[in-house]
Amino acid sequence: MRAIVVTDQAAGTSGMTLAERPEPPAAINDVVVEVHASGYVPTELEWPSTWTDRADRDRSPSIPGHELAGVVTALGYGTTGLSVGQRVFGLTDWHRDGTLAEYVAIEARNLAPLPGDVDFTVGASLPISGLTAWQGLFQHGRLQAGQSVLAHGAAGAVGTMVTQLAREAGAYVIGTGRAADREKALDYGAQEFVDLANDSLEDIGRVDLVFDVIGGDVQKSSAALIKTGGTLVTIVGPPEARPADGLAIDFVVEADRAQLSEIVQRVRDGRLQTNIGTIATLDDAVAAFNPTERLRGKTIIRVRP
Ligand SMILES: NC(=O)c1ccc[n+]([C@@H]2O[C@H](COP(=O)([O-])OP(=O)(O)OC[C@H]3O[C@@H](n4cnc5c(N)ncnc54)[C@H](OP(=O)(O)O)[C@@H]3O)[C@@H](O)[C@H]2O)c1
């Protein structure tokens, strides 16, 4: 099969190549999926899991990309709940070969059915940003209607999902980002916008939940704005700051079939818009991941036309 592979961490995305790789077999509890569309997070090549297995053994050349939408072609022994020919989407294991390939082997529990009226490109754009927003807001952030959320990077892949899901849950959302992101953040539902380079974060007052996708000084100044009993949720590593009287939580997104189904249902009925910036073919994937201009929104690779 054809796949994008990486062999050299120092080379970054410029070291990606399109290569021939063996098709994966369906191991116990796995399904093999014919990938129609694949999503990739720009920071993946910095993650140890891209380069080693769980025992820290080198597993390169590895295939990046952890989001997919496609069609089940084989079921491993013991796999239940899915059938051959079914449309699915989901999030693959960080330590296994990923989805920038014509086929991927994935545990069945990491997949959810993809309804027939949702395009594969849309399906592949949802798992990481949608699940991260859902888990950060509702599991880790324990968001309640009427609360306020400071959504950093509100025009980004995760930030647009955070904004929309928080609004739907009845929260007041203040988005942040660069000056050029203001309109997009407001279009996705933020009620206010803070340009982090030119506006003062302190002017927004106090909030119940900070959803941090940036870290560093932005995270530190945001932690000071959290109300008593509020939460700093960060997805960029261990917290560097804590609210004076609240929780600070970092987490890594996990596959969850029920949550994937909740997310895709919102897309079907128009409550949730995905944030795709670029769609490229597998032949053009390396160029798409090495853009000459700033990327906006997710880059999705249409593996099959
Ligand atoms: N822990 C997890 O499970 C998890 C899950 C998903 C993502 N992540 C991580 O979360 C981060 C965000 O992911 P994403 O997919 O949402 O990325 P993204 O689409 O690039 O969105 C991030 C947004 O924040 C903006 N931003 C970043 N630094 C900024 C700054 N200093 N000032 C103003 N705006 C700034 C970006 O603008 P520019 O593009 O102009 O920089 C972009 O609009 C990444 O580091 C990713 O690896 C973690």
pLDDT at position 295, please? 74
Element of type H or E holding 183 = helix 182-187
Whether 41 is in the pocket of ligand 1, judged by its Cβ within 6 Å, is yes
Q: Which pLDDT score, from 0 to 100, does residue 294 have?
A: 79
Element (H, E) at 268: helix 257-268
For ligand 1, say whether the CB of 165 is within 6 Å of any of its atoms.
Answer: no
List, for residues 264-282, the tens digit of each pLDDT value: 999 999 999 999 999 999 9
Q: Phi/psi of residue 112, each to 5°?
A: -130, 155
SS3 of residue 223 by DSSP? helix
> From ligand 1's centre to the CA of 47, what distance in Å?
15
Q: How many CB atoms lie within 10 A of CB 215?
A: 18
What are the phi and psi torsion angles at 285 (to 5°)?
Answer: -65, -45
Atom of ligand 1 nearest to the CA of 129: 6
User: Which of 66, 158, 151 is CA-nearest to residue 106?
Assistant: 66
More confident residue, 294 or 229: 229
CATH node for 2-126+274-302: 3.90.180.10
SS3 content of the chain, % helix, strand, coil (to 5): 30, 30, 45
- Cα of 102 vs centre of ligand 1, distance in Å, is 28
Q: In the numeric block, which tokens belong to residue 150? A: 């400071």
Q: Ligand 1: which of 40, 184, 213 to mutate, judged by most atoms within 8 Å of the beta carbon?
A: 213
Answer whether 236 contacts ligand 1 (Cβ < 6 A): yes
Evaluate whether 73 touches 33 at the Cβ level (below 8 Å). yes
Whether residue 43 is predicted with pLDDT greater than 80 in this model: the reply is yes
Give the nearest ligand 1 atom to 298 CA.
19
> Residue 182 and residue 193: Cα distance in Å, rounded?
6
Which of 220, 222, 228, 221 minimizes the C-alpha distance to 246?
Answer: 228
At 29, the pLDDT band (50, 70, 90 cuts) reads: very high
One-letter amino acid identity for 187? D
What are the C-alpha distances in Å from 295 to residues 50, 126, 127, 298, 301? 22, 17, 19, 8, 14
Joined together, the tokens standing for residue 187 give 């279009």
Instruction: Give the pLDDT confidence of 146-202 residue by residue, as tens digits.
Output: 999 999 999 999 999 999 999 999 999 999 999 999 999 999 999 999 999 999 999
What residue type is assigned to position 219 of the chain? Q
292, pLDDT greater than 90: no
Is the beta carbon of 226 within 6 A of some atom in ligand 1?
A: no
pLDDT at 296: 84
| Whole-number Å distance between alpha carbons of 215 and 34 | 37
Mean pLDDT of 116-131: 98
Contact 303, 35 (CB under 8 A): yes
254 touches 230 (CB < 8 A): no
Q: Establish how many alpha carbons lie within 13 A of residue 195's alpha carbon, considering only the half-sphere containing its beta carbon.
A: 9
CA 290 to chain CA centroid, nearest Å: 19
What's the pLDDT at 184?
A: 98
Nearest to 94 by CA among 271, 254, 221: 254
d(CA 129, CA 117): 20
151 in ligand 1 pocket by Cβ < 6 Å? Answer: no
For domain 129-250, the CATH class is alpha beta
Q: Domain limits of the chain?
A: 2-126+274-302, 129-250
Instruction: Give me ligand 1 centre to Cα 23, in Å.
Output: 33
135 CA: nearest ligand 1 atom: 3
Percentage, residues of the chain above pLDDT 90: 96
* CB 91 within 8 Å of CB 55: no
Please choose, from the candidates 128, 156, 144, 160, the residue with its C-alpha nearest in 3D space to the C-alpha of residue 256. Answer: 128
Q: Does 2-126+274-302 match 129-250 in CATH topology? A: no
